[in-house]
């Protein structure tokens, strides 16, 4: 069985099963945490003289899996690496600490026996996700004014990889705030 569609785990009204105790692992809701796909959170070169900050902001509350964040990160980073090699700093702000649980169903003959009475099954940890509130920043790129169009194109490519609705905020930086 492959990866379930994103629509199955993007609501934020479900409880967050994130408790993992290092001191008392038997008391944890989550016995084993899935591997985190999103590894790099900061990319590019940090410089003091960037004059613009462009951020991708969530319009609605949403939960994003780490593999979709990773694919969006790759889309932004590859495009900016090609057009503005050393002239940007790219950060991913939310960390995927929410554990996504999945109850794997049987397929084929006799599968209805398992599904009856299991409407709210607890499931096993399969993936990680990050929760975004309305108005929370997802990506932040600091760069020079001449690269604004390239960053907007990179964000357009990233929005194809993640679910939800987003807006782009452009902020001019003064030398003291950079």
In whole angstroms, what is the distance from residue 36 CA to residue 16 CA? 17
Sheet strands side by side (includes 124-132): 62-65, 124-132, 98-102
What would the pLDDT profile of 133-177 be if each residue is shown by its tens digit?
999 999 999 999 999 999 999 999 999 999 999 999 999 988 755
The CA-atom distances, in angstroms, between 97 and each of 20, 75, 109 are: 10, 22, 37
Stated as kind and residue range, the H or E segment containing 100 is strand 98-102
**Listed residue (61, 40, 54) closest to 163, CA to CA:** 61
In whole angstroms, what is the distance from residue 69 CA to residue 109 CA? 37
pLDDT of residue 105: 67
Instruction: Return the higher-pLDDT residue of 23 and 72.
Output: 72
In whole angstroms, what is the distance from residue 32 CA to residue 83 CA? 41
What 3-state DSSP class applies to 143?
Answer: strand
What is the model's pTM? 0.80
- Given the candidates 3.40.50.2000, 3.90.1170.10, 3.40.50.1000, 1.10.3720.10, the CATH classification of the domain at 6-11+29-101+123-172 is 3.90.1170.10
What would the pLDDT profile of 39-71 be if each residue is shown by its tens digit?
788 888 888 889 999 999 999 999 999 889 999
116 band by pLDDT with thresholds 50, 70 and 90:
low
118 band by pLDDT with thresholds 50, 70 and 90:
low
Residue pointed to by tokens 């780490």? 66
Contact indicator for 142, 53 with CB cutoff of 8 Å: yes
pLDDT of residue 147: 93
Cα 139–143–149 angle (5° rounding)? 80
123 band by pLDDT with thresholds 50, 70 and 90:
confident
pLDDT of residue 23: 77
Does the structure show a pLDDT above 90 at 102? no
DSSP letters spanning 12-75: SSS-------SS-GGG-S-SSPPPPS----EEE---TT--EEEEEEESS-EEEEHHHHHHHHHH
Stated as kind and residue range, the H or E segment containing 92 is strand 88-92
73 band by pLDDT with thresholds 50, 70 and 90:
very high
β-bridge partners, 71: none
Domain ranges within the chain, ordered by starting residue: 6-11+29-101+123-172
Does the structure show a pLDDT above 60 at 76? yes
């Amino acid at each position: 069985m492959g990866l379930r569609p994103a629509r199955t785990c993007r609501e934020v009204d479900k409880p967050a099963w994130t408790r993992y105790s290092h001191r008392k692992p038997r008391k944890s809701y989550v016995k084993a945490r899935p591997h985190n796909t999103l590894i790099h959170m900061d990319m590019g070169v940090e410089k003091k003289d960037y004059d613009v900050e462009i951020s991708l902001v969530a319009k609605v509350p949403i939960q994003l899996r780490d593999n979709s964040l990773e694919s969006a990160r790759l889309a932004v980073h590859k495009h900016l690496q090609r057009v503005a090699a050393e002239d940007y700093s790219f950060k991913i702000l939310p960390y995927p600490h929410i554990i996504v649980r999945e109850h794997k169903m049987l397929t084929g003959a006799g599968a209805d026996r398992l599904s009856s009475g299991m409407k709210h099954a607890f499931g096993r940890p399969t993936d990680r996700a990050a929760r975004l509130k309305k108005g929370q920043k997802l990506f932040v790129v600091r760069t020079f004014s001449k690269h604004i169009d390239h960053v907007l194109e990179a964000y357009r490519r990233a929005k194809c990889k993640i679910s939800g609705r987003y807006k782009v905020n452009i902020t001019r930086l003064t030398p003291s705030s950079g």
